[in-house]
């Protein structure tokens, strides 16, 4: 910023390198305006994500063992044991409980045992829990379309059904190498307002 304000010409590659470093460290949060109605700024947004944001392989993914105070080495490659997080939970009228998970490392595959761990979320109404489950099917969401998927690799999102113990914020990992990621820090509400489902059929667990 000092170089820019002093009138110095800065090569764009220098700006992109510095932006990627700052973004990966969490010290800088770029804001790019985009119009969903006209598409204005969408190309610049996508180019900015590709050029200035770290790839999944450059991001650190660390976790603790849910039953031991040990910290394993970084897990950032598809061949490493799987580590994912449940980012959304909903109820479908036909298939029941639906979980959307974001894969951080390793590879999720259907019909393989997984470990679901949730700790430190008692203030949200979720008591500490650990359970071994088996995912029957993986689906890759694309808008309202669901495509059957054989694997889910790092930086992708996958959808599965009927994993009873999975709650939003839980860590999903390899059953033989269970890990626990730090739960989200939820902001304090500013207004005493709540949204309540009109009927039990439309209620969504969070």
Predicted TM-score (pTM) above 0.75: no
Higher pLDDT, 10 or 191: 10
Bridge partners of 81, per DSSP, are none
Give buried/exposed letters for 4-35 (b at 16+ CB in 10 A, else e). eeeeeeeeeeeeeeebbeebbeeeeeeeeeee
In angstroms, the CA 52 to CA 44 distance is: 11
Numbered ranges of CATH 2.40.30.10 in the chain: 58-183+195-206
For 29-44, what is each residue's pLDDT tens digit? Answer: 888 899 989 999 999 8
For 42-96, what is each residue's pLDDT tens digit? Answer: 998 998 888 878 776 666 555 565 555 444 444 445 567 788 999 998 887 777 8
Bridge partners of 91, per DSSP, are 97
Domain 58-183+195-206 CATH assignment equals 3.40.50.2300: no
């Amino acid at each position: 910023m000092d170089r820019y304000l002093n009138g110095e010409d800065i090569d764009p590659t220098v700006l992109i390198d510095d932006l990627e470093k700052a973004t990966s460290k969490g010290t800088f949060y770029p804001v790019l305006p985009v119009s969903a109605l006209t598409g204005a700024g969408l190309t610049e947004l996508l180019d900015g994500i590709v050029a200035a944001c770290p790839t999944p392989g450059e991001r650190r993914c660390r976790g603790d063992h849910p039953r031991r105070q040990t910290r394993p080495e970084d897990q950032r490659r598809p061949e490493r044991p799987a580590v994912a997080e449940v980012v959304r939970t909903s109820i479908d009228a036909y298939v029941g409980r639906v979980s959307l998970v974001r894969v951080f490392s390793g590879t999720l595959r259907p019909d393989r045992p997984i470990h679901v761990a949730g700790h430190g979320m008692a203030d949200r109404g979720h008591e500490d829990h650990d359970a071994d489950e088996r995912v029957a099917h993986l689906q890759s969401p694309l808008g309202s379309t669901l495509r059957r998927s054989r694997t889910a690799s790092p930086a992708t999102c996958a959808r599965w059904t009927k994993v009873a113990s999975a709650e939003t914020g839980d860590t999903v990992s390899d059953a033989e190498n269970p890990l626990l990621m730090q739960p989200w820090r939820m902001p304090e509400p500013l207004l005493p307002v709540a949204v309540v489902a009109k009927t039990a059929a439309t209620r969504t667990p969070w």
